[in-house]
Chain A
């Protein structure tokens, strides 16, 4: 004899929770109604398929090997901008992160002010801050590094603060109970526990910053960006291909390195 298979949700009445269903439906309806604002048009999308294929086909060209030395020089500059900007941002973000973490901040007012400062810093994208710094200090990689560091502090400070907020309170109490001072509790109980998260954040941000640095050249703030945009404009697909591949390569290497480093920090040295 078979019993009927009856499905039910793990709720008291077996039905999905009404607020959840209502919420999802409202969201879908909202998106459907507002899509025309950004001119989402399926007819146009399908009509353009042909042109997309043509464009993609143009990428299959013999790379311009003559360009490689200049590419390497520009990529090196881009990587240096990324690493320098991120390094400066780490130094600034650590103390700001402590001030902006609910469980580490010295005072709720400091918490509020720091949070607002951080969101101000990341309110505008790198490109816009780069424009500001280019007009301040002139063309070249320097304003690029400044723009990267500035926006990165906004993000990293927030991420650091959030990883500090989730540290295990027991260890914090253990250190505090032995008479450690304000700063000592933060240094010895909170930061070590937040470290794997920090490393994850830094690696993600390096990844992001490399891609951001790759377009800063657009406004004259150094890096590969100028070449990237120019080769696009001048239809030099043989160069564009090399540039795209080299960015992809660096990002991938970074990604692998970050996986290794993170697992080593979480699990400790393999013995």
Chain B
């Protein structure tokens, strides 16, 4: 069964830039998919469409058979969590409160007016924090944590939501190699143990090879490769990362030499 279904989706921004040019794909429930591609290929836009942060110009995006559109977007988001490159935490709030914001979709605004949460929500938040190994930082302010720790808070927030799908937009782009490894392993473990569908945008080819079940390669708003890590050979990588109008691309050769 496919958790996410994307049908002939294109996206043109008001400034005229066409980020996606007819993308079709299905993402199987419980799988770990990595999207690779150069900057500007449309990876982020694709992910943001799945969460309703952007709306497609044409085509449709469905999560578990339900279309992501205006009215139902909050309902969809309650099942689709998002992890960001810049973490997107509220710096000034405590770690626990940030994780608790993952519960807001399931609660009405009435308690929120007084910043009140249910006891069970606090239990869920604590459990999520222990999953990412940050129980002892629970009452620290979010901006007092290191980058890797902040990203783990971001993942805990996603987990607190009890989602079906976690979308991660370049979750390790601002992290050092060790923290990157930890974050990827955490996402993989969440996928394996909880059966949550994970879609990750990455710039690291090597991480993609090691962690993904399936790799989607994008270039200039189109899918140019779709297969297992084993199928992603050097020629395939060249297609994914090739730049328009440049024949003998030295930088491309160098970049892919050790990938």
Contacts and interface: CB of A to CB of B under 8 A. Distances in A.
A180 B105 contact: yes
Nearest to B81: A178
A181 interface: yes
Given A178-B101, A178-B157, A189 B90 contact: yes
State which size class the interface on A falls in: 20 to 34
Given A173-B88, A174-B87, A192-B93, A179 B161 contact: yes
A179 B74 contact: yes
A68 interface: no
Nearest to A170: B88
B158 A178 contact: yes
B77 A178 contact: yes
A219 interface: no
Contact of B101 (A175, A183, A195, A268): A175
B115 interface: yes
B88 to A, nearest CB: 3
A171 B91 contact: yes
State which size class the interface on B falls in: 35 or more
A119 interface: no
A184 interface: yes
A180 B239 CA distance: 39
Scoring B75, B78, B89 by chain A CB atoms within 10 A of each residue's CB, the highest score goes to B89
Interchain residue pairs A-B with the least CB separation, the first 6: A179-B105, A174-B88, A179-B77, A180-B104, A177-B82, A179-B78
A168 B93 CA distance: 14
B102 A178 contact: yes
Interface in B102-137: 102, 104-106, 108-109, 112-113, 115
Nearest to B97: A188
Interface string A193-207: 101100000000000
Nearest to A195: B92
Given A170-B88, A178-B77, A188 B161 contact: no
A171 B98 CA distance: 10
A187 interface: yes
25 contacts: A170-B88, A173-B53, A173-B84, A174-B154, A175-B104, A176-B53, A178-B101, A178-B105, A178-B158, A178-B161, A179-B74, A179-B75, A179-B105, A180-B101, A181-B74, A182-B109, A183-B112, A184-B101, A184-B104, A184-B112, A188-B97, A188-B101, A188-B104, A188-B112, A192-B92
Interface of B: 51, 53, 74-78, 81-82, 84, 86-93, 97, 101-102, 104-106, 108-109, 112-113, 115, 141, 143-144, 154, 157-158, 161
Interface string A47-68: 0000000000000000000000
Contacts of A177: 51, 53, 77, 81-82, 84, 88
Nearest to B86: A170
Given A175-B101, A179-B106, 15 more contacts: A170-B88, A174-B84, A174-B89, A177-B51, A177-B81, A177-B82, A178-B82, A179-B77, A183-B109, A183-B113, A184-B101, A187-B113, A188-B90, A195-B92, A268-B143
Contacts of A189: 90, 101
Contacts of B109: 181-184
Interface string A145-186: 000000000000000000000001011011111111111100
A179 B77 CA distance: 5
Nearest to A265: B92
A180 B97 CA distance: 13
Nearest to B141: A268
Nearest to B90: A171
Nearest to B102: A178
B170 to A, nearest CB: 13
B112 A187 contact: yes
A181 B91 CA distance: 20
B49 to A, nearest CB: 12
A193 B157 contact: no
Nearest to B110: A183
A251 B134 CA distance: 44
Nearest to B100: A188
Contacts of B88: 170-171, 173-174, 177
A192 B92 CA distance: 6
Nearest to B88: A174
A189 B88 CA distance: 10
